[in-house]
Amino acid sequence: MTLSGKSDWPTASGQSVRLRVSPNASVSRWYPIKLVFQYRAYSDDRLVQTGAGETIEISSRALRLRIPEELPVQVAELDLAIAWPAALGGVTPLQWSVKAKPAWRAQGWIFVCIASHEFRTAGARGRQFMAACG
């Protein structure tokens, strides 16, 4: 699925958000994969919001996310802990840890560019979250 949009996009609060990157910039394939995640949102290296959400689509360099709470416009970075569907050795749960930069917003979802990522084994807290979210 190719995303396209305007250079300005209104948020639910009526504020307009200027795009930093075109949503279809250099992203060749999108995969409609729904995975639950927890997030931490930062502005100037200060934690401003935490919560949970669900991926809508994944590509090699970007994600489209559904986050129930609207993120403050000043959010510059997100730390995501995404519950990965395959377990290591069929036993140990994994999480995909992603640092991402918000690039484009629309009502009900946000497009982020992946700055860095790695797979980690999920700790006890992560396993409880994954079990509770399905």
The full DSSP string for 23-40 is: TTTT----B----EEEEE
User: 63 in the Ramachandran plot: left (φ > 0), alpha (ψ -120 to 50) or beta?
Assistant: beta
Reported CATH class of domain 8-133: mainly beta
Between residues 63 and 73, which one has the greater pLDDT? Answer: 63
pLDDT band at 108 (very low <50, low <70, confident <90, very high): confident
How many beta carbons lie within 10 A of that of residue 111, not counting itself?
Answer: 26
pLDDT band at 126 (very low <50, low <70, confident <90, very high): low
Instruction: Read off the pLDDT of residues 81-96 as tens digits, 9 standing for 90 and up.
Output: 999 998 989 899 999 9
Percent residues over pLDDT 70 in the chain: 71
Q: In angstroms, rounded to a whole number, what is the distance separating the alpha carbons of residues 103 and 5?
A: 12
- The residue behind tokens 């060749």 is 28
Between residues 4 and 93, which one has the greater pLDDT? Answer: 93
